[in-house]
Structure 1
Amino acid sequence: MTRFPRLRTLAAVAASCGLLVGCTTLPTNTEPQAIRSFEPQIEEGSNLGPQPGREPDLLLRDFYTANAHPSQDYQVARSFLARETSQQWDPHDSVLVVNRIDLVTAPGATSERRTFNVRGAVVGRIATGGAYEPENGVYEATIEMIRANGEWRIESLPSGVVLERTELRNQFQPQRLYFLDPSGQVLVSDRRWIYSGHQSLDSALITLLLEGPSPSLAPGVRQVVPRGATFAGVVDGAYHFTGFADVEPEDRLLFAAQLVWTLAVANIPEPYTVVVDGEPLAPGYETLSSDDVAEFNPRVNATAPVPLYALTDGRVSRVASNQVSPVEGALGQLGGLESVDISASGNVAVVRREGEESVLLTGMVDGELSEAVRARTISRPTFEFDRNNQWVVVDGDRIVRVVLSGPSGERSESEVDTSALESTAGEISVIRLSNSGARIAMIIEGRIHVGVVERTGPAERRIVNVRELAPQLGGTALSLDWQPDGSLLVGTSTPETPVWRVEQDGSAATSLPSGNITAPVVAVAATPSMLYLTDAQATLQLPTTGGDNVFWREVSGLQGQRAAPVTAD
């Protein structure tokens, strides 16, 4: 079924070779990059090169700062090197991100030669296309410097680029590309780091979009752009493409959704003129805007109300207008509940304790509930994008997918392939699927792990590309949930830093205000406008705007109660 009424008939496009345009992310190897046929417009400060008379240790630090400027094939960084070294240095071998650079002068220094031992804690690397990949390790290098014509220069250094994390944040901005889930129903974000000196952000984003998803996300999304497709640049404000001749009309529409929302979220002004082989993407329709693809909107409306529920003493209540009221239907009559998840469309999944067993019950929030799974222990449920489908952890080591299908409401269950977790020992205590269902966040033995959900068959799911985020939290994580912007809200048992924000790609973990939180934080939830948590004493909230407010307030209607907040999103 065609999804956009205004774009039902598409013009045919002829395949041809076109101009490749450039990108200023940080490449990690010498494979072909997005832009090769012209150099992007870059504004560089005049004081980025070596300062005359600079002492060798300070000049070396300036070199590492210059590593954050990749334009002209790292021309600024090369200016710190001796002439022959500049020609031999390969910055594309790898791009490591370290917490900080420490350097110490090695023995044997003279007035003409110095050797420095450089060390740093590796926190990540930048992959081809600007994707951040978290890592834990140590960077160690020996740098040799000589005095040439009265000025110190670097004579010997390893291949590759090393960035301090502060320079990554100062000189690069995280942007989002959007790809489609396998069903073609929802956009999935792919966070990339783009050089701030780039004068053509839209061209850089489009080039990366045509290159495809990052390797870690690729198994969880669908690629609708053909291999031969090319972004041919911007001419008179229009985005030109070639190579879509064999693309089905439906897939062209899906590509339009990817393109429009990638540009719109990056604040590239609308509307967008899209030309494919000299013709509009759709006959008679020369521009596209986010209104044309509104059903794919990846941004949650911050002003839209999100229903709030609370699980208190084993019962679910609705919290609204500063009051707590019983939930109608069978859900409101149930007691002994251990956990609950509720969707904006009214789907509900609850876990109830019955003697020595836990039971998963599913249904609608105002209707009847029926048994789906029974086991010794069952984790809090989490929904796929299709809210008729839920995942739970059974007995701490098996993830089970429950599917409601057919007009009769039949339920089936299957086990998710978790073989990627075999090297990660411990019990899985929490799982949360992202809104798109393409990612899963887990707490395993108090540590945060994130993976991608691959669809290996119509009813089969596999977790792949698992990586640990925020290792500095150690084994203290107790609760987590996805925030609308794709980051994670994490509650811990640490009194000094009980609640954290962790970025989707693991590039940063930030402790949130904790002025009046009493650890442990056993439950968290988030809406576009509010953060919620349950600590040792109460249920608290903090506006996402934050400001200078470091104190969380009790949720109106739940004062004096310790309840688990549940947002229906």
Structure 2
Amino acid sequence: MGDDREGGARHRPGRAVAYAVCGAVLLSGCASMPDSGDLRDVESTPRQDTGVRVFAMPPAEDAEPSEIMQGFLEALTSDDPEYDTARKYLTADAARTWRPERSATVLANGPSVVPDHQPAGREAADTLTYVLAGTRVATVDAQQAYAPADGSYRNRVHLAKDAKSGQWRIDSLPQGVVMGKTDFQRNYTSVSKYYFASHTTVRTTGEPVAVADPVFVRSKVDPVTQVVRSLLTGPTSWLGPVVRSSFPTGTALRKGVSGLAPDDRNNLTVPLNAKAARVGSDRCTEMATQLLFTLRNLTPTLESVELQGPGGRRLCDLDEEGAEAAAWHASAQRPDNLYFLDGKHRLVRLPTGAGGTGTSAVPVPGPLGRGERQLGSVAVSRDEHTVAGVDADGRNLYVSSLEPDGSLGNPVVSSLGVDPKDRLTTPSWDAGGDLWVADRDPRDPKLFVMDQGVGKPVRVTVPELPGRIRDVRVAADGVRVALVVEKDGKQSLLIGRVEDSGERPAVVELRSAAPDLEQITAMSWAGDSRLVAVGLEQGGVHQMRYVQVDGSTLEGPAPAALSGVVAIAASEDERVPLVAYSEVDGVVRLPSGAQWQKVDKDGTAPVYPG
């Protein structure tokens, strides 16, 4: 935990040692604790993320209480599958009742450790209480779901000296584990599990739509088996009401199974218990699809999965091509075109494989390509057959087919907002063909959804809305929606779950996707569980970054800096370049490994289908 702890403590000679044995690293559990006096922010043995598994040392004979605390906290960040070494620092009773898998608390800089006030007397000489304290950043619950957190963390750990052995051990402690942000990032990895939207299918094919459900697993502790167990257990409670799993209730790995890994041909065999023994071929295919979608974002080279029932009986097998045919997920859908408005406010398109200049951009077929209505923003359906456009003053929303003989017709939604900035947002389509738009009129703000883009606008309730919607982007799966919400002059990026009781759809349980960003000026979905956002970091400057829907921090570099960004467009297919509209440079795009390139100096409002 050394990367997360600061100054103060002095090292005991010879204790901060790392050993390489049989490809594993053993960390001294007693590093960096003072022999006496106050315990401040505790330093542990520094280590590099080399990819090898890391184990902590068990307690030394006659270890002092400070060494017990240090060793225990170090063991929490090791790669011990069942935390067996950490339990050696506990009494027998405490080891039996401690449940480290119940939660993980992530602190900004790791826990500081100080002795609590101790009463005088003989009994006090054989007991000692330490206080763990810090600033909370996040929590990971028993379902492995991440949630941003703030506020102070403070918990007590009680130690007792065994009357017979004379050894100090922890006899009372909080459930779960606690560690600093750097240790968490080194020890855990985010993986998206996949389920199917309960009520959304692809408009053109009727395929089920896959929905990503991100969780965090320990990255070097049999991660494939962890992820499979998590998938079989079911979706997280936040997503659960709007998705389904094809695995029968109670399906689990066969007893004793661990160490799941692809073979030398990149095929993975998954042995299941008797609950899955009687599934039909179609359902088994969906089960294998969930597994393949889930595991390919952990092991990208995985080629196929085989499901086995009791006795090793093959239930079904599936490769990537079969999975893509069995279900639809956004990150596998490469858009044909990039769309934007040219200098004449006409809708034009540019093939996604075209070069960086705007010379090959051509008007789309139909009235919006002919310039029959000057537009301010657009959204193109995911099948690229229909376009929704808001006129330049933000007052009216029109829907038209991308056909030469298409007509514009009357507006499907109109706003009465006085200021153009208080009228309609950019519209947004899901894979089922439904169209979303918000009216920002402060006198009567509303969120609408239209069946297939042409149905009567239905007002969506948002019971927990903490302000006024300034922007909206529905996920391809139709069960999650990203909202930029303004309150007291600040904008926040929130993710809500879309529920439809049959009377009126609702967006519920809003949660922050970018808790440290404010003044959000642009955002777009950029993956099955990822968005790209432009905003002002608290106390900082405007920046562009990728964020996870659960509010966790993504590893890897942020997009290259770009000034004056007003709009941004990304595809869920991460191979497609990021595109933005800058007041300085017009429409620009960011190919992988390159700098921003101009597409059209006079262009505005770029979008990919969605």
TM bracket (short chain): 0.7 to 0.9
Q: CA deviation at 1:428?
A: 0.3
> Do 1:532 and 1:539's aligned partners in 2 also have CA atoms closer than 8 Å?
no
* Aligned pairs (5 A) from 1:408-427: 411-421=455-465, 424=466, 426-427=467-468
Residues 49, 476 of structure 1: CA spacing in aligned structure 2 closer, same or farther, 3 A cutoff?
Answer: farther
Q: Does 1:362 align with 2:391?
A: no
Identity %: 24
For residues 105-141 of structure 1, the C-alpha deviation after alignment (integer angstroms, 9 at most, x for no partner) is 3576899876544322222221223221222332112
What amino acid sits opposite 2:500 in the alignment?
R
Does the alignment pair 1:288 with 2:318? yes
The answer for the alignment partner of 1:532 in structure 2 is: 579
CA gap of 1:348–1:211, structure 2 versus 1, over 3 A, is same
> Partner of 2:13 in structure 1?
none
Corresponding position of 1:218: 240
Q: How far off is 1:390 after superposition?
A: 0.2
| Contact in 2 for aligned 1:500/1:510 (Cα 8 Å) | no
Segment drifting more, 59-68 vs 160-169: 59-68
What amino acid maps onto 1:307 in structure 2? Answer: N
Separation of aligned partners in 1, 2:227 and 2:173: 32
* Deviation at residue 85 of structure 1 after TM alignment: 4.5
1:143–1:273 distance in 2 versus 1, CA, 3 Å: closer
Per the alignment, residue 450 of structure 2 pairs with 402
SS at match of 2:562: coil
Q: Which residue of 1 aligns with 2:388?
A: 349
Matched, 1:489 2:532: yes
Per the alignment, residue 31 of structure 1 pairs with none
SS in 2 for 1:226: coil
Q: Deviations over 1:520-559 (max 9, x none)?
A: x32111132322223442246564644xx6xx42423x13
Q: Give the aligned residue type for 2:138.
A: G
RMSD: 3.6
Q: Residue type matched to 1:274 in 2?
A: L
The aligned length equals 503
Q: Deviations over 1:20-47 (max 9, x none)?
A: xxxxxxxxxxxxxxxxxxxxxxx96454
* C-alpha distance in 2 between matches for 1:301 and 1:272: 18
**In the alignment, is residue 498 of structure 1 matched against residue 512 of structure 2?**
no
Residue correspondence of structure 1 range 313-462 to structure 2 within 5 A: 314-319=345-350, 321=355, 322=357, 323=359, 324-332=361-369, 333-346=371-384, 347-353=386-392, 358-366=395-403, 367-370=406-409, 371-376=411-416, 377-387=423-433, 389-395=434-440, 397-404=445-452, 411-421=455-465, 424=466, 426-445=467-486, 446-457=491-502, 460-462=504-506
- Equivalent AA in structure 1 for residue 432 of structure 2: D
Task: Provide the secondary structure at the position in 2 that maps to 1:168.
Answer: helix
Give the counterpart letter for 2:585 in structure 1.
A
Query: CA 1:204–1:83 in 2, change beyond 3 Å: closer, same or farther?
Result: closer
Q: 1:101 to 1:372 in 2, by over 3 A?
A: same
Is the Cα–Cα contact under 8 Å of residues 340 and 604 in structure 2 kept in the other structure? yes
- Going from structure 1 to structure 2, the CA distance change for 1:517 and 1:240 (only over 3 Å counts) comes to closer
1:215 counterpart letter in structure 2 = S
Closer, same or farther: CA 399–299 of 1 in aligned 2, 3 Å: closer
Match of residue 309, structure 1, among 325, 334, 339: 339
Q: Which structure 2 residues correspond to residues 9-88 of structure 1 after superposition, within 5 A?
A: 45-50=54-59, 60-69=69-78, 71=80, 73-81=82-90, 85-87=94-96
Question: Residues of 2 paired with 1:300 and 1:505: CA distance?
Answer: 18
CA distance in 2, matches of 1:81, 1:328: 72
Which residue in 2 is equivalent to 1:13? none
Q: Structure 1 residue 214: deviation in Å?
A: 0.8
TM-score w.r.t. length of structure 1: 0.77
Tell me what 2:153 maps to: 139
List gaps (5 residues or longer) in structure 1.
Answer: 1-42
Please state if 1:240 is matched with 2:271: yes
Instruction: Mark the CA change 1:269 to 1:111 in structure 2 (over 3 Å): closer, same or farther.
Output: same
Equivalent position amino acid for 2:220 in 1? G
* Partner of residue 257, structure 1: 289
Give 2:230's aligned residue.
Answer: 208
- How far residue 49 of structure 1 moved from its aligned partner, in angstroms, is 3.7
> For 2:94 and 2:307, how far apart are their aligned partners in 1?
45
Aligned residues of 1:501 and 1:510 also touching (Cα < 8 A):
no
CA contact (8 A) 1:502 1:510 kept: no
Letter in 1 for 2:141: A
Name the CA distance, whole Å, in 1 between partners of 2:270 and 2:99: 33
Matched residues in 2 for 1:48 and 1:438: separation?
47
Q: Secondary structure at the match of 1:431?
A: strand
Distance 1:163 1:512 in 2: 24
User: Post-superposition shift, 1:359?
Assistant: 1.1
Q: C-alpha separation between the residues in 1 aligned to 2:583 and 2:459?
A: 34
Q: Secondary structure at the match of 1:328?
A: coil
**1:443–1:125 CA distance, 2 compared to 1 (3 A):** same
2:103/2:142 contact within 8 Å kept: no
Q: Which is worse superposed, 102-111 or 340-349?
A: 102-111
Cα deviations by residue, 1:233-256 (Å, 9 ceiling, x for unpaired)? 669974333224665654343223
Distance 1:89 1:252, change over 3 A: closer
Question: What secondary structure is seen at the aligned counterpart in 2 of 1:243?
Answer: helix
Partner of 2:527, secondary structure, is: coil
* AA at the equivalent of 2:241: P
**TM-score of the superposition, structure 2-length normalised?**
0.72
Deviation at 1:485, TM superposition (A): 4.7
- The answer (yes or no) to whether the contact 1:439–1:452 under 8 Å persists in 2 is yes
* Aligned AA (1:243): K
1:479 aligns with 2:522: yes
For 1:190, the equivalent position in structure 2 comes to 213
What amino acid does structure 2 have at the position aligned with 1:206?
A: V
Q: How far apart are 1:188 and its partner, in Å?
A: 0.8
Deviates more, 1:447-456 or 1:115-124: 115-124
Q: Note closer, same or farther for the CA distance 1:168–1:490 as it changes in structure 2 (3 Å cut).
A: same
